[in-house]
Amino acid sequence: MLLKFDTTQVSRKLTRLRGNGLAARARLLLLSAVKRGCGGNEETSGETCHPRRFACRILRSNLFCRCWGFLNTVQSVTSAGTAGAGATAVGDDASTVWYNPAGLVLSQRSEVLISGGLSFPSTSFQNRGSTDAVGFPASGNSFTNSTASLLPSIFASLPIDDQLRVGIGVFVPFGQMSKYDSGWVGRYQVQQVSLKTIDVRPAVAYRINGMWSVGGALDVQYAKFQGATALDFGTLCFVSAACFAGPEGADGRLVAPLTTWGVGYDFGVLIEPSADLRFGINYKSGIHGGFNGNAHFNVPAMATPLTAAGAFSDTSVTSTLNFPQIVSLGAAWRIGEQWTALVDASWTQWSDIQQFTLNFANPTPAVSQPLHWHDSWRIAVGGIYRLADDTDLRAGFAFDQSPIGNQFRTALLPGADDITIGVGIRRRVSDSLEISLSYDYNREMDATLNLSQLGAGTLIGTVRQQFHTLGAQARWQF
């Protein structure tokens, strides 16, 4: 059976229903939604709209397209202790493979570094009048499910001669998970979304003279993205009269895992005007992401008539999204025998990400979600205090600008400007072993949501997020 919405009939029903009370208002709003989903307006007549076209508008509203703004800028515990300040210039261990490969020239011995951070997120949502697809108060709770995550990394470096060094790193530069309760009020916009990348980066560095050093790296990246969202089949049933259900009365689910491989590169410069002053410059290229995977639909039994035309059936999906290029500048200034002042600034070209498009292999039309991200800056300042010959203390503060504008913020990625405070300690326990510990507190500014999406209603509220991260690191030199 091929279901169709005839917009001429919709217009007639709209005329009859106006002014006929609460139930009529609900029907009016739903029929208006059908017309918008079909691309019609009050003047359109005679247009026939397949439900999969209306459905693709709902998918465009619901799909998980905004998870890419979270860059893990801190890849080692020594850097976490200063909130990333000075990481482009300090080059005090093999993790400089990520921050600035030219810093490898500062390593005098071969080393292996294993680092890990355990992050404990806390997310809360305060509902401030969210409505469903027909404009009535949305049902559901405000619960979030915060899950601790482990951010591991491993680096190694090897001196070849007095001027040449090589290194390698395996780490997670991008990663984010947002998870909400299955019955939460914004389930038609998102239930769960996660992004994980694993990068393998071989690097080489060369000291030109006592002042100038250069370095480069190849970046091979694997990325996995998975999103899940509820689908309000009750609304589709109610509008089409193809099945017996009302709004929010027949929830389905869409899950789609996507993966990709990509390749990028790094180039860095280290400048040492004196023994106490050091500058670093690093460029990280963007990485093209050609994602592919499968879309899995869970359709409730009462809504199966809606699948007759091929909509809401499992199919393969492809998409393209680029990871941004990054330019970083840093400085490290040793003041006397005990103090070192650190500063870092990074610019990320998020403006390359303007939309996200999903292409389905079945008859479902391709859908695009506008993002309109803008470039952002991260500024970090900090310092190192040499407590003893074998021990130093670290602290730092960072401000990270969000690339997401207010009008495009959603519960998928309610990103806002954030601050990070980091403290740490590094201690050499033997000639070959060094241990580091860190604690970071990250607090995002309150993120206000007020976004209407076809078939998903309007989510209105405030999201508050903070993260506590504990780090531990071991460095072996030989």
pLDDT digit string (tens) for 211-265? 999 999 999 999 998 878 888 787 777 777 677 777 777 888 888 889 999 999 9
Alpha-helical segments (H) within 350-435: none
Identity of the residue numbered 268? G
> Does residue 172 have a pLDDT over 70?
yes
- Output the CA torsion sign for 465, 326, 401, 376: negative
Instruction: Give the C-alpha separation, 359 to 59, whole Å.
Output: 12
* Mean pLDDT to the nearest integer, 405-419: 76
Closest CA to 90 of 392, 390, 347: 392
pLDDT digits (tens, 9 = 90+) for 446-475: 888 777 666 667 778 888 888 899 999 999
- Residue 171's nearest CA partner among 148, 147, 155, 149 is 155
Residues whose CB is less than 8 angstroms from the CB of residue 19 and which lie 6 or more positions away in sequence, other chains included? none
Mean pLDDT of the region 165-190:
79
What's the mean pLDDT when you consider all of the chain?
A: 80
How many CB atoms within 10 Å of residue 43? Answer: 6
- Residue 200 corresponds to which tokens in the numbers above? 């393998």
For 335, counting Cβ atoms within 10 Å of its Cβ (0-12 exposed, 13-18 middle, 19+ buried), the class is exposed
Does residue 44 have a pLDDT over 70? no
Gap between the Cα atoms of 300 and 246, Å rounded: 13
Residue 154 has pLDDT above 80, yes or no: yes
Q: 52: alpha, beta or left, given left = phi > 0 and alpha = psi -120 to 50? A: alpha
pLDDT of the residue at 134: 64
282 with 327: CB under 8 angstroms?
A: yes
Q: For the whole prediction, is pTM greater than 0.75?
A: yes
Mean per-residue pLDDT, 22-48: 43
Identify any residues that bridge with 283 across adjacent strands, giving them in sequence order.
267, 327
Q: Other C-beta atoms within 10 Å of 14: how many?
A: 17
In the chain, domain spans = 1-49, 66-477
C-alpha 412/C-alpha 427 separation (Å) is 40
Token pair for residue 79?
Answer: 């850097």
Instruction: Give the separation between CA 473 and CA 424, rounded to whole angstroms.
Output: 11
**How far, in Å, are 109, 205, 217, 383, 474 from residue 78 at the CA level?**
18, 21, 21, 12, 10
Alpha carbon separation from 341 to 77, 212, 277, 332, 397 (Å, rounded): 18, 21, 10, 6, 12
Distance, CA of 448 to CA of 145 (rounded, Å): 19
Q: What is the pLDDT of residue 423?
A: 97
Per CATH, the homologous superfamily of domain 66-477 is Outer membrane protein transport protein (OMPP1/FadL/TodX) (2.40.160.60)
Give the residue among 175, 179, 193, 181 at the shortest CA–CA distance from 62. 193
The one-letter amino acid code at 425 reads: I
Q: Which tokens in the block code for residue 413? A: 């990625």
